Amino acid sequence: MSIDTQRTKENLIAELTAAGAEFKGNSVCCPFHDDRHPSASIYEGKDGIWRFRCHACGVQGDIYDIRAQITGRSRQEVLCEANGGNQRTYQKAPKIYATLEDLRLAVSRIGQIVAEYSYDDPVTGRTDLLVFRLEPKNFVQASPVKGGFVLKAPPKPWPIYNRGAVKQVETVVVVEGERDCHTLAEYGFVGTTSPAGAGKGQYADWTPLAGKKIILWPDVDEPGRKHMEQVAEILQQLEPASTVFIVEPSSLDLHDGEDVTDYVTQLKIIEADIQPALEKVFAEATKCSVVDGLRQIIKDTISGKRRAIDLPWPKLSELTLALLPGMVTIAAGAPGAVKSLWALQLMAYLYESGIKFAIFELEHDTEYHLGRMFAQRASCSDLLDPGWVRANPEKVNNLFERHRPWLENFGHSMSDSGDKEITLPELAEWVQQKAESGCRVIALDPVTIVERTQEPWVADQRFLLACKKAIRKTGASLILVTHPRKGSKGAVGLDDLAGGAAYQRFSQTILWIEKFAEPKDVTIKGDCGRFVTSINLSVHICKASNARGHGLRLGFNFDPATLQFAEQGIVIGNKKGDES
């Protein structure tokens, strides 16, 4: 496989997104420095290759340059890996600045240097990382190499700041920025931070804080809070674990984006005694615990805030609890298994229940699916027959006018890709937008039709992780309609799902819809005992992480006249007395 086939826009976006970049069209919040406003962009070169360029910190190049920057490897190593081990590749040498003065001169061309922070190893005295704060506000990283310095971060894991002082004390304040560490030092407190700002904590080496008392002081914004939550989790996994406390900055009359330095500035304005005021803040910090998350789940469950949204089929709902907040459900089935109609009946039920939802129809347009919804709503599958519609214009028009308001409101929650071939990163962004807009249930039908990449297993994992991050943050639930893998020959099971292993690994519920060519007589276990009935469809519960339904099969009847699904109960045998 030619490595150039990988240098597409979608793969570059995926690589940058995995590194923490945020996109606004082709504008990018650079993941390689603390970039609050997009200072980078992606563009297509005359050679057809998509590239990245940050106009602030100077990082630029195609997907292989970016991968090298992220992993701390050379371009040659990255190209060799992509080329199947063939080392006959071009290595783009980074520019080396022989002296610190040369480096400063280069950085000053980007912006005025207002501060320089050196991440020094307290044992060797060696500088591992340099961070320049520029005006207008921007940050540039540099690291030492043989022969001088390069404008890039050192290999991961990155060092934390102020390690010499950290080594000498038992209590350390973790802040979001080197400036805040210096502010704390003025009043006798030791602070540290990780490079590159919020969201990059996982790339830092926090082991110097093992066993210490740590006070986290987040900036007053959502990225700052999430960053400190991530740092707290890392610190509690150290050996020995840190004892972690967190400051609630909003209680200090701080506002959006403000930090430790802003708080000290406020104290100076009112001529307060700063050191005792900071001591009071630290004394009132809330202790973090590894069980805090579990305790919150318990509290939310007791209060009813965390509950599973019901499905329109009571037994399936009870056996799966599929629509708990933050959970992913897979609904699979062979072509013709009426999965889309199953999904539409579910969405109609949510709409009738007053639950905000969104569904992205990836196969056919919105009008096509609204037509099917119309037929299902009117309990008249003849509405999908053009000949019958032409022969019964008055009846069709009457039905349409009767259901038009309902369909119009329902249709606002449907999306399609039009004539555009959508990619997984774009779809993940759509999921995030819908989750943040308050949609409690989000569905994609069918996700397997999305444009495939050269490394689908990587793309699938990135897609699922991005979606899970969005729904966990907002408490939404995600439903992915999918197909069997090619060549499965009608088998039902996890190994027969289309897509990468990520779909199995990162979902909590997997349902397999199996439609029969002819009805089958089965023994059903219902709420009132066992009985024999005829079914034309089964729903196999292949995975149920949140409930007791794993491995069970539910009998359904799908009515082709009304396009509705009716649940019968748990299938315990193919005929009377033949239990399975």
Higher-confidence position of 82 and 275: 275
Q: Are 274 and 265 in contact (CB under 8 A)?
A: no
Number of Cβ within 10 Å of residue 543's Cβ equals: 20
Residue 93 has a pLDDT of: 61
Helix axes 260-269, 178-185, angle to 10 degrees: 40
Nearest to 177 by CA among 369, 33, 15: 33
Distance CA 361, CA 363 (A): 6
For 320-334, the DSSP string reads H-TBSTT-EEEEEE-
Q: Which segment of 223-232, 253-262, 498-507, 524-533 scores lowest on mean pLDDT?
A: 498-507
Residue 159 has a pLDDT of: 96
pLDDT tens, position by position, 10-32: 788 878 887 778 887 778 888 88
For 519-544, the DSSP string reads EEEEEEEETTEEEEEEEEEEEEEEEE
Task: Determine the 3-state secondary structure of 41 from DSSP.
Answer: strand
Q: State percent of the chain over pLDDT 70.
A: 92
Residue 274 has a pLDDT of: 96
> How far apart, in Å, are the Cα atoms of 341 and each of 115, 372, 524?
61, 8, 24
Residue 452 has a pLDDT of: 63
Q: Tokens in use for 562?
A: 């009304």
Task: Determine the 3-state secondary structure of 123 from DSSP.
Answer: coil
> How far apart, in Å, are the Cα atoms of 250 and each of 218, 256, 261, 269, 315?
10, 9, 14, 19, 45
pLDDT tens, position by position, 435-462: 999 999 999 998 887 766 656 677 888 8
Element (H, E) at 461: helix 456-474
pLDDT band (50, 70, 90) for residue 580: very low
Q: Which segment of 193-197, 453-457, 533-537, 568-572 scores lowest on mean pLDDT?
A: 453-457
Nearest to 117 by CA among 71, 163, 169: 163
Q: Which segment of 37-51, 187-201, 353-367 scores lowest on mean pLDDT?
A: 37-51
> How far apart, in Å, are the Cα atoms of 252 and each of 104, 217, 234, 354, 574?
37, 11, 26, 39, 67
255 burial class (0-12, 13-18, 19+ CB within 10 angstroms)? exposed
Q: Tokens in use for 444?
A: 């994609």
Residue 575 has a pLDDT of: 57
Distance CA 540, CA 538 (A): 6
Helix axes 9-18, 456-474, angle to 10 degrees: 50
Task: Determine the 3-state secondary structure of 374 from DSSP.
Answer: helix
pLDDT tens, position by position, 377-397: 999 999 999 999 999 999 999
Task: State yes or no: pLDDT of 275 exceeds 60.
Answer: yes
pLDDT tens, position by position, 339-365: 999 999 999 999 999 999 999 999 888
From the CA atom positions of the chain, what is the Rg in Å? 29
Question: Over the chain, what is the mean pLDDT?
Answer: 88
Nearest to 490 by CA among 343, 380, 368, 334: 334
Q: Given 3-state DSSP classes, what are the helix, strand and coil percentages for the chain, each rounded to the nearest 5?
A: 35, 25, 35
Q: Are 247 and 215 in contact (CB under 8 A)?
A: yes
Q: Are 552 and 569 in contact (CB under 8 A)?
A: no
Question: Residues 492, 493, 495, 499: is their CA dihedral positive or negative?
Answer: positive
Residue 303 has a pLDDT of: 84
Q: Tokens in use for 375?
A: 């037929």
Residue 500 has a pLDDT of: 64
Residue 1 has a pLDDT of: 37
pLDDT tens, position by position, 147-162: 999 988 899 899 999 9
Cα end-to-end distance, the chain, whole Å: 48
pLDDT band (50, 70, 90) for residue 577: very low
Count CA atoms closer than 13 A to 335's CA, side-chain side. Answer: 8
Q: Are 481 and 341 in contact (CB under 8 A)?
A: no
pLDDT band (50, 70, 90) for residue 509: very high
Count CA atoms closer than 13 A to 196's CA, side-chain side. Answer: 25
Kindly state the DSSP code that residue 242 receives in the 8-state scheme. P
Nearest to 333 by CA among 514, 535, 555: 514
Q: Are 354 and 360 in contact (CB under 8 A)?
A: no
pLDDT tens, position by position, 86-132: 544 444 567 899 999 999 998 888 889 999 999 999 999 999 999 99
For each of the domains in the chain, give its residue range(s) and CATH number, in order of start: 3-82 (no CATH), 100-150 (no CATH), 168-290 (3.40.1360.10), 314-486+498-579 (3.40.50.300)
Q: Do strands 213-216 and 171-174 pair parallel, antiparallel, or not at all (unpaired)?
A: parallel
Residue 139 has a pLDDT of: 85
Distance CA 179, CA 29 (A): 21
Nearest to 118 by CA among 129, 107, 133: 129
Residue 268 has a pLDDT of: 95
